[in-house]
Amino acid sequence: MQLQDILYSQGFGTRRVCAGLIQQGLVKVYESGRETVPVPCVLATAEFVAAGLRFRVQGVDWPYAEKAYLMLNKPNATECSQKPSTYPSIYTLLPSPLRLRPQKGAVQGVQAIGRLDQDTTGLLLLTDDGKFIHRMSSPRHHVPKVYEVTVKHPLDTRQISQLLAGVVLDDDPKPVRAAACEAVSEFHLRLTLTEGKYHQVKRMVAAISNRVEALHRSQIGALRLPDDLAPGQWCWLGEADLASIAGVPAAVC
């Protein structure tokens, strides 16, 4: 695969822009056997095996990824929208190549899988793999999601039992149950859900006569948000990460 095509596929601009970056000496490639020292390449049509390739563009290292799979620690006061109404978009936290990755001839970039409210923080997955988005978003797969909930009023065993038994929300007569629920402390509830109804955590907590003061998603499937990933930071997901999400085979990446 030509180097200019590799850069184009990774979101570094049109093929002409990518060729210009290479010709200006702004691209270096980690060649086999010299993985610690990137080698400058000024020939846009130079051929490389894309799979497993690492390269440096304008001083920043990048791995070649046929499809991008990311984890973002969503900070407070951000919106999961390309066109936010009040708060900054989470997409502004990502470097431009991830936002400009082409797909089927159009600029698509990575997309958030589901949304978190502007005042909800924590684990958010993003990808440009449409099949992966569909799989993770489908209610048929029941991927468990763990939330750390700070509540206004002290928790008691009755409230925990109610959440496990099921509470009725105002738009559905069928009870909604927590897959798991525990009081970590007097005002800290750890809630596991396998559904994704609108404002579900807040409405479930309201149904037990309490109120959500802060909400943080800490886990999806067996994939936990790392302690060292600060709010606003992102990282690549590897095969082991994807395999830790319930129902997603490692071969997906």
Catalytic residues: 117
Q: Are strands 111-112 and 120-127 parallel, antiparallel or unpaired?
A: antiparallel
* Angle subtended at Cα 204 by Cα 201 and Cα 208, rounded to the nearest 5 degrees: 135
The two tokens of residue 221 are: 């499937």
Residues in Cβ contact with 198 at an 8 Å cutoff, skipping those fewer than 6 apart: none
Cα(239)–Cα(248) distance, integer angstroms: 10
Residues 6+ apart with CB under 8 A from 24: 42
- Least Cα distance to 212 among 228, 226, 197, 201 occurs for 201
- Of 151, 132, 127, the C-alpha closest to 143 is 132
Q: How many residues belong to the chain?
A: 253
Under DSSP, is residue 252 helix (H, G, I), strand (E, B) or coil?
helix
In this structure, the number of other CB atoms found within 10 A of the CB of residue 39 comes to 11
Q: Tokens 């709010």 — which residue?
A: 231
